[in-house]
């Protein structure tokens, strides 16, 4: 519960906060491909990374705690929506639509 719900969740949350502060983010792809992002696309990707960490936390910490478990699905849906919004904005900016 603590290892996954807090320890694992801190990795994308910490990276997202760092990306937000610096204004630079990396979109990791398959086979070692990476795309360096700046400005609003980096901020949107930072939101997506933070949302992944919140989803992990809601699933592995809140979801296993008896009193917090009823709130877990709500937080997971909100985190998924934030992730999709951040990733969608990043795709919009990168593709230049």
What one-character-per-residue DSSP string does the chain give?
-HIIIIIIHHHHHHHHHHHHHHTEEEEE-GGG-EEEEEHHHHHHHHHHHHHHHHHHHHHHTGGGSTTTGGGHHHHHHHHHHHHHHHHHHHHHHHHT-
Percent of the chain whose pLDDT exceeds 90: 82
Q: Give residue 2's pLDDT.
A: 82
pLDDT tens profile 30-73: 888 999 999 999 999 999 999 999 999 999 999 999 999 999 99
Q: Cα 83–30–33 angle (5° rounding)?
A: 100
In Å, the largest CA–CA distance within the chain is 46
Nearest to 58 by CA among 50, 46, 69, 47: 69
Q: Does 16 have pLDDT greater than 80?
A: yes
Domain boundaries, the chain: 2-25+36-95
């Amino acid at each position: 519960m603590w290892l996954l719900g807090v320890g694992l969740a801190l990795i994308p949350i910490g990276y997202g906060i760092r990306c937000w502060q610096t204004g630079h983010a990396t979109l990791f792809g398959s086979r070692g491909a990476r795309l360096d992002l700046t400005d609003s696309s980096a901020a949107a990707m930072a939101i997506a990374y933070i949302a992944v960490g919140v989803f992990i936390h809601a699933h592995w910490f809140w979801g296993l705690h008896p009193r917090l478990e009823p709130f877990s699905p709500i937080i997971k849906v909100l985190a998924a929506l934030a992730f999709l919004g951040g990733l969608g904005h990043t795709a919009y900016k990168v593709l230049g639509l």
